[in-house]
Chains A and B, each alone.
Chain A
Amino acid sequence: DAKTTQPPSMDCAEGRAANLPCNHSTISGNEYVYWYRQIHSQGPQYIIHGLKNNETNEMASLIITEDRKSSTLILPHATLRDTAVYYCIVRLLYGGSQGNLIFGKGTKLSVKP
Chain B
Amino acid sequence: DAGVTQSPTHLIKTRGQQVTLRCSPKSGHDTVSWYQQALGQGPQFIFQYYEEEERQRGNFPDRFSGHQFPNYSSELNVNALLLGDSALYLCASTYIGDNSYEQYFGPGTRLTVT
Contacts and interface: CB of A to CB of B under 8 A. Distances in A.
- Co-complex (A, B): yes
Interface of A: 2, 41-46, 49, 85, 87, 93-106
18 contacts: A42-B108, A43-B90, A43-B105, A43-B106, A43-B107, A44-B43, A46-B104, A49-B100, A93-B100, A96-B96, A96-B98, A97-B50, A97-B55, A99-B101, A100-B33, A101-B92, A104-B42, A105-B40
Contacts of B98: 96
Contact of B102 (A42, A46, A98): A46
B90 A96 contact: no
Given A42-B107, A100-B48, A105-B42, 9 more contacts: A42-B108, A49-B100, A85-B42, A93-B99, A96-B30, A96-B50, A96-B95, A101-B92, A103-B35
Nearest to B91: A43
Contacts of B107: 41-43
Interface string B64-107: 00000000000000000000000000101011111111111111
Interface of B: 4, 30-31, 33, 35, 40-45, 48, 50, 55-56, 58, 90, 92, 94-108
A45 B105 contact: yes
Contacts of B106: 43
Contact of A97 (B31, B42, B99): B31
Contacts of B90: 43-44
Nearest to A100: B45
B114 to A, nearest CB: 21
> Top 9 nearest A-B pairs by Cβ distance?
A43-B105, A103-B42, A96-B96, A96-B31, A46-B102, A97-B55, A100-B45, A103-B43, A44-B105
